[in-house]
Structure 1
Amino acid sequence: MRGGTPPPGDFGQRLRLLRARAGVSQEALSQAAGVSVRALADMERGRTRGPQRRTVQALAEALGLDEVEAAALEESAALGRPRPRTDAAPAAPGALALPRDIRDFTARDAALAGLLELARDAGPSRSVVTVVAGQPGLGKTAFAVHAAHRLAPHFPDGQFALDLHGMDAEPTTPRDALARLLRALGIDDAAIPAGTDERAGLWRSLAAGRRLLLLLDNAVDESQVGPLLPGTGPSLTIVTSRNALAGLESVHRCDLALLRREEAVELLTRILGPERVRAEAQAARDLADLCGHLPLAVRIAGQRLLSRPHERLGKLVARLAAEGRRLDGLEAGSLRVRAAFALSYRQLPADSRTFLRRAALAAGPDFSPETGALLAGLSYDEAMACAEELTDAGLLQSDPVAERYHFHDLLRLYAAEQVEAEDGPEVRDAALDRTARWMLRRATAAALHFDVDHDRTVPSGDPDPEGAPAGREEARAWLEAERAQWLAALRRAHDTGLHREVLDTAEAMHWFSDRNQHWEQWVEVFQRSADSARALGNRQEEAVHLNYLAWAYNLCVHDPRAALASAGEALVAARESGDGLQEGWALGYSAGALHRLGRPEEAHTRLREAAGCLAAQDSHQARLAELTILNTLGTLLRLMGRPAEALEIHRRSEQICRETVPGRADELIALYHAVARQQIGNDLAALERWPEAEPSLRQALASFEARQMPAWAEQARLDLGRVLGAMGHPEARQTLLAARDALAALRSPRQAEAVDALAALDQVTADR
């Protein structure tokens, strides 16, 4: 390649050299490849480092590349694409990293000095909290972020920033905020407690003794903030809010004021450079006055001028003066912010304006360019170009790691107003419907990667097969990242009567949900799907989804009473529709709820009835259901002090696995077999038949480890450690120690059993 070969990951340089070799202009390549000139320019400049595969293929064909060169171009693009986060990767403290500091931050010296003093005052018994309050647009967040970066060296144990979305219709709940904080400290999702008080207690215990800096941005009220504050320890918490939060006790308060005129001009100088401002000193002062000395308005005006380096300040001043009615808002409360946003918004190209206002319709705290493209009716590449332009203009904030964007909360409100003013209800609803349909199709296709019943030779129905997640890990990453979007799509489909789409998506999610039992959203998913089945008048599907709902109540939100009620409805629907499989599942789920309610005898009766119901059926689904019911029944019998009966039941389960289940994957049957072996080992241990118990438990442990199922493997390791201890085996202590540490890391309730088993083993050793 003439001009040298660029590094593998430098897609822009490689594309530029290939175009130069071909002797074509950007305009000619744009027309041949069907890619906009603007998108092509962004690729070559390195602003777009990882375009999609179909775009790269179009460019390769237009340039006439051979297979080797086309493959090299695709490889360089692939290196620039964001990597999906796998579920196995633990959460890192950087998950709530501080936003990028603003280099041209101006003024606020006294407030910064006060925070530095507070940082010095923080000690082992004194956790310091400061509240930054005031009207919108005063730069509370910018000040808090700048202060946090200045104070960061004083807090070496971590600096976390969390947006509480106080301006949203549904602000972040303390419960969800605590989950994010715990994940930032490395706590696995499955180990996070269910209740708000329990989460707050765990957060306080982990924060105690650490020098942490916590930024809680956009708080709505005291009840939202209170549970998030560390109790003791040398930490500093900075809270920003539009409200005074007067109910928070023992806090320092930092009330920001409008900038003085000279401070507003200084901010313009830092944005634009001293030469440009000195050349039009009076225009700079006039511009500061027209912005009402409001930091956000001054910054937007400065950024607009920065994007047009040859435009005179006086021209912008004249334009602002001509729009006097809008600028009058700068002198009256929240209208000041609206006018500042309107100034920047109306300078954007048509596509960027559409993208900005429609993106306000996205669900959740952030959104992907893909979602923005769907809402705005743009191609992915056009949406990416708009997102980057809006980020450069300061109207969107980009995630430091993923290709995702979020609004300042006030700008989201302003953008939503523009949807109503410029698009109207009909266009808005069409954008939401279009996005919901696409999201449901993609979510359904992604979830089918986990469905053991899905025929892989059948097209998945993804709306964009070229850009679809490939394999389970990419599918998992997409489903996690876009959880808010596809859940919102499911709601919209349900509310607009697309009940078949709701049922198809919920059904596809069945196996995926089993891998993510800690997601409480499954209650809503399966409640809506059960409602949709009812609306369609399909009692058999209603029984299926009511059973899914009972599962979610039992295992996801730990509400056995609701689970019992849902399973009862499923039982009625199953019997009315003559579905013996769903009848068996309904009996099993109701038994699980009864056991959790402390009614073991009733649970035992239901499980016996469920096992008999399923044994009478011939389908492979019935055999799998029977395996689940038998394993549950045996475990219940052992807990009731009847280990011999439990062993008989679990042997029966193992026999079904050995005979195999027609039409089922060996991998799935092997998992059921491992569960049966673990329970057989525990039954033998309860009967004090230790040498027989050991091999069953070792086999189960090896099977779970091979499948990378740590929550299951560590419980089997604990069971094995107990048996080894009873036998006086030399591996006992090391096995129990490993189980204890792993269960503690998982925040499993069984970690206490491991501690007790170790203590018992130590006592036996001391007595010898």
Structure 2
Amino acid sequence: MPAGDEFRQQLRHFRTRAGLSQEALCEAAGVSVRALADMERGRTLGPQRRTVQALAEALKLDDDEAADLEKSAALGRPRPRAATAPAGPNTLALPRDIRDFTARGPALARLLKLAATLDDGKPGGDEPAQPTAVSPVSVITGQPGLGKTAFAVHAAHRLAPRFPDGQFALDLRGMDAEPTPPRDALARLLAASGITDAAIPNNLDERAALWRSLLGERRVLLLLDNAVDEDQVLPLLPGSGPSLTLVTSRNSLAGLDSVHRTDLALLRREEAVELLTRILGPERVLAEAQAARDLADLCGYLPLAVRIAGQRLLSRPHERLTKLVTRLAAEGRRLDGLQAGSLQVRAAFALSYRQLPPVTRTFLRRAALAAGPDFSPETGALLAGLSFDAAVDCAEELTDAGLLQSDAVAERYRFHDLLRLYALEQAESEDGPDIRDAALDRTARWMLERATAAALHYEVHQERTTPAQDPDPDTAPVGKSEARGWLEAERAQWLAALHRAHRSGRHQEVLDTAQAMHWFSDMTQHWEQWVEVFTCATESARALGDRRQEAVHLNYLAWAHNLCAHDPKAALTAADAALEAARECEDGLQEGWALGYSAGALHRQGRAEDSHDRLRESARCLAALDAPEARPAELTILNTLGNLLRHTGRAAEALEIHRRSERICRTGFPGRTDELVSLYHAVARQQIGNDLVALKRWHQAEAPLRHALADFEAAHMPIWAEQARLDLGRALSGIRHPEARQTLLTARDALAALNSPLHVEATAALAALDTLDGASAAC
């Protein structure tokens, strides 16, 4: 008698004896009519133990009869194959583990912890584990090349001893043109579990139900590799029971609920070097340790790329690591260099790229043209010629596909370096230079228009009444805060647009944007990019033959070299050129500024007397001018002159100069906003406080310095505010040491974060305070 046939006959006999219809027995036992019909027809050869127990209770069988029914059911259940059994045509054995598998310790630990939860409630002896409410599922996702399959296989081999009833691995071929249908996948899983072809149902739902019933009491490890979407995976998942399923996919499979998620990240640098070491051996890597680190950097810490580089070098034992580093350093040759036999980074990316809809492919390759480390949907929309909403949809689709990484807070996206190179290759081959240049020009014009409009929110001239023209008023930043947020977020984009406009000969656009940035640049002195902005503007002014504009932007450039790049030599060169241009076109205002900026550069080079002379000359030049623009310039020069006097030991004279500046601020000057006057007043107060500190009048210095700090913070000027905080800390050092220490610590850390060399002065002030405290303790 075939296995399972005895159970079928016994079940029908007991039901008939009890005088129950199939429907009545199903209701009493809590099983479906279809399931009972399959049992009596012999399609279900060996139901689960708890199902047999439920039927025995409903049929009111005695212990011996129930035992016989369970025994006959057990004969029809597929017997688990031994883990060491040879793989036949229907087996789905785990792939070979990778000998040099590296890193992923935390992710593996979380999977081991997940598997350990299945041990809860496991009885002793040979009895199977009690089924859990839902069999756990872990979805392993990430971009191409992260080693999802390698990790899942390695984890499966580590987990295998916990699953004595079998380990099955099935490639769902999600990247193929025709992924494996779930109906076919179930047929393979059922066959590997011992179900004969004749007993495998034709219907997808029936196959899924049979699969779930088989796993209800078994401890099986199931690896579903390379899944395409949720619809492919869902029918393959166990229901309840002590099995564990690992699913790998390039897509996020966000529609699968109640699953454990492992989102693999890039390797750390040291982990990438360790992988190279395991492939090549420690001697070869240690002999070129820096080259190994450089190679990891050029591979972008992508496991596939690092493995390919290692395999390539392993096959060429005579080649040095430095040779491959030199080859990969050229971006245009990097993807060519990252191939070893059938392993290719480019091929891994191409699999995902070909799966995308045409519009999403366009978005991906055009977005790679964006400047900077990340981009907004706004930029992607401009480059791809899409609406904003369509761009967001594409970006989200690419994120789900593992081809972009989304920012944790802002609506921004970034490429992996190698994937960006691949996308640029596709832009070159599929779009060509004409389409690419048109996309870049369209984006650059839009970016410059918005950047100009946004920067003009910081314009201080009251007479400017014409509103700035934003390219899309409906989405334009509103107010200074939003304008600054946009300018900061899109800094790389509008700066690249400025360079493109300059190279394209659109010089007036360059000048308009740079001029609009003038007052905003004062708020962000820690940006070294201002040197680039005003260099472009200076060259555009020269290209137009406009000597006055050349003088203006040379002065801005001198300011940037002085305060942003901390390069006084370059600042002096720019200021002297501005002075020459200003005198040639008889512009007294620009002449005064040029003298002032050159004085600042001379002071930073230790030429105090020369600096003093130029400041005096600048002050005389500006004081003689009636133009409204001259008063802020005069204030700047007076404050700088007083600062120089204080640093040369003439603090009393400095205090007199800065009191004069304060009187001008209190009087006010026409044509300028109250905000600008308040800012200059804050600078004067800061200088007065520093003069009083130099005169050891610490108590009098505290109030003006606190006023200055509050004004700079209210104006959202971090570099100015932290310098004022440093000055306040110095003043407090003379009266209240604990408060002084905390103030100096705050200033030091903030200045370091802003990349300001003043953090060195804060450190020195803290050391001086420690010396004072030590001397006090000794007394």
Please indicate, yes or no, whether the TM-score normalized by the shorter chain is above 0.5.
Answer: yes
1:541 to 525, 549, 553: 549
Partners of 1:340 and 1:703 lie apart in 2 by 55
CA deviations 1:469-505 (Å, max 9, x no partner) are 1222222221122111111111111101111111111
Question: Residues 154-173 of structure 1: matches in 2 within 5 Å?
Answer: none
**Are the equivalent residues in 1 in contact too, given 2:548–2:587 (CA < 8 A)?**
yes
CA deviations 1:332-384 (Å, max 9, x no partner) are 75895445544543443332232122112111222211111111111111222
- The answer to whether the aligner puts 1:655 opposite 2:663 as a matched pair is yes
Computed over aligned residues only, the root mean square deviation of the Cα atoms, in angstroms, reads: 4.2
Partners of 1:334 and 1:561 lie apart in 2 by 55
Query: Corresponding residue for 2:477?
Result: 469
Query: Corresponding residue for 2:171?
Result: 265
Structure-2 change in CA distance of 1:608 and 1:307 (3 Å):
farther
Query: Corresponding residue for 1:672?
Result: 680
Query: Corresponding residue for 1:354?
Result: 362
Partners of 1:590 and 1:446 lie apart in 2 by 30
- The answer to whether the aligner puts 1:582 opposite 2:586 as a matched pair is no
Identity of aligned residues (%): 64
The aligned amino acid for 1:463 is: P
CA deviations 1:278-311 (Å, max 9, x no partner) are 44699x9xxxxxxxxxxxxxx9x94657688999
1:701: how far off? 4.4
- The answer to whether the aligner puts 1:646 opposite 2:654 as a matched pair is yes
Structure-2 change in CA distance of 1:584 and 1:498 (3 Å):
same
**Are the equivalent residues in 2 in contact too, given 1:620–1:663 (CA < 8 A)?**
yes
Query: Corresponding residue for 1:441?
Result: 449
1:670: how far off? 1.8
1:277 to 166, 169, 185: 185
Query: Corresponding residue for 2:285?
Result: none
Query: Corresponding residue for 1:559?
Result: 567
**Are the equivalent residues in 1 in contact too, given 2:227–2:233 (CA < 8 A)?**
no
Deviates more, 1:737-746 or 1:683-692: 683-692
Query: Corresponding residue for 2:765?
Result: 754
The aligned amino acid for 1:525 is: V
**Are the equivalent residues in 1 in contact too, given 2:143–2:402 (CA < 8 A)?**
no
Partners of 2:339 and 2:722 lie apart in 1 by 63
Query: Corresponding residue for 1:39?
Result: none
1:758: how far off? 2.9
Partners of 2:402 and 2:696 lie apart in 1 by 69
Query: Corresponding residue for 1:402?
Result: 410
CA deviations 1:640-687 (Å, max 9, x no partner) are 111222122212212211221111112221221222123223334434
Partners of 2:414 and 2:230 lie apart in 1 by 22
The aligned amino acid for 2:740 is: L
**Are the equivalent residues in 2 in contact too, given 1:303–1:393 (CA < 8 A)?**
no
Query: Corresponding residue for 1:736?
Result: 740
Partners of 1:375 and 1:477 lie apart in 2 by 21
Partners of 2:526 and 2:761 lie apart in 1 by 17
Partners of 1:418 and 1:384 lie apart in 2 by 21
Please, which runs of 5 or more residues in structure 2 have no aligned partner?
1-93, 110-141, 156-167, 193-222, 236-336, 753-758
SS of residue matched to 2:171? helix
Query: Corresponding residue for 1:375?
Result: 383
Question: Residues 480-499 of structure 1: matches in 2 within 5 Å?
Answer: 480-499=488-507
1:453 to 427, 446, 461: 461
**Are the equivalent residues in 2 in contact too, given 1:338–1:414 (CA < 8 A)?**
yes
**Are the equivalent residues in 1 in contact too, given 2:174–2:228 (CA < 8 A)?**
no
2:599 to 574, 580, 591: 591
The aligned amino acid for 1:532 is: S
1:430: how far off? 0.9
Partners of 2:646 and 2:338 lie apart in 1 by 73
The aligned amino acid for 2:171 is: V
Q: Give TM-score, length-normalised by structure 1.
A: 0.58
The aligned amino acid for 2:663 is: Q
SS of residue matched to 1:461? coil
**Are the equivalent residues in 1 in contact too, given 2:501–2:507 (CA < 8 A)?**
yes
- The answer to whether the aligner puts 1:629 opposite 2:637 as a matched pair is yes
By relative contact order (CA 8 Å, sep 6+), the higher-ranking structure is: 1
Question: Residues 312-327 of structure 1: matches in 2 within 5 Å?
Answer: none
Query: Corresponding residue for 1:522?
Result: 530
Please, which runs of 5 or more residues in structure 1 have no aligned partner?
1-104, 121-136, 151-261, 285-298, 312-328
The aligned amino acid for 1:742 is: T
Partners of 1:584 and 1:571 lie apart in 2 by 8
Query: Corresponding residue for 2:49?
Result: none
Structure-2 change in CA distance of 1:111 and 1:332 (3 Å):
closer
CA deviations 1:410-469 (Å, max 9, x no partner) are 332332233223322211111110010001111111111222237675332111111111
The aligned amino acid for 1:361 is: L
Partners of 1:264 and 1:687 lie apart in 2 by 81
SS of residue matched to 2:760? coil
Structure-2 change in CA distance of 1:673 and 1:350 (3 Å):
same
**Are the equivalent residues in 1 in contact too, given 2:173–2:227 (CA < 8 A)?**
no
Partners of 1:643 and 1:545 lie apart in 2 by 33
Partners of 2:145 and 2:580 lie apart in 1 by 57
1:630: how far off? 0.5
Structure-2 change in CA distance of 1:709 and 1:460 (3 Å):
closer
Query: Corresponding residue for 2:288?
Result: none
The aligned amino acid for 1:499 is: H
Partners of 1:352 and 1:307 lie apart in 2 by 22
1:141: how far off? 3.6
CA deviations 1:160-219 (Å, max 9, x no partner) are xxxxxxxxxxxxxxxxxxxxxxxxxxxxxxxxxxxxxxxxxxxxxxxxxxxxxxxxxxxx
Question: Residues 82-481 of structure 1: matches in 2 within 5 Å?
Answer: 110-111=99-100, 116=105, 141-142=146-147, 265=171, 276-279=184-187, 302=226, 336-453=344-461, 457-481=465-489
Question: Residues 595-610 of structure 1: matches in 2 within 5 Å?
Answer: 595-610=603-618
**Are the equivalent residues in 1 in contact too, given 2:686–2:724 (CA < 8 A)?**
yes
Structure-2 change in CA distance of 1:439 and 1:138 (3 Å):
closer
Partners of 2:97 and 2:378 lie apart in 1 by 39
Structure-2 change in CA distance of 1:280 and 1:541 (3 Å):
farther
Query: Corresponding residue for 2:158?
Result: none
**Are the equivalent residues in 1 in contact too, given 2:455–2:520 (CA < 8 A)?**
yes
Structure-2 change in CA distance of 1:579 and 1:110 (3 Å):
same
Query: Corresponding residue for 2:262?
Result: none
**Are the equivalent residues in 1 in contact too, given 2:547–2:582 (CA < 8 A)?**
yes
Structure-2 change in CA distance of 1:354 and 1:718 (3 Å):
closer
1:274: how far off? 7.3
Between structure 1 and structure 2, the one with the greater Rg is 2
Structure-2 change in CA distance of 1:349 and 1:710 (3 Å):
closer
Partners of 2:687 and 2:728 lie apart in 1 by 11
Partners of 2:493 and 2:418 lie apart in 1 by 21
Q: How many residues align?
A: 500
Query: Corresponding residue for 1:18?
Result: none
Q: Give TM-score, length-normalised by structure 2.
A: 0.57
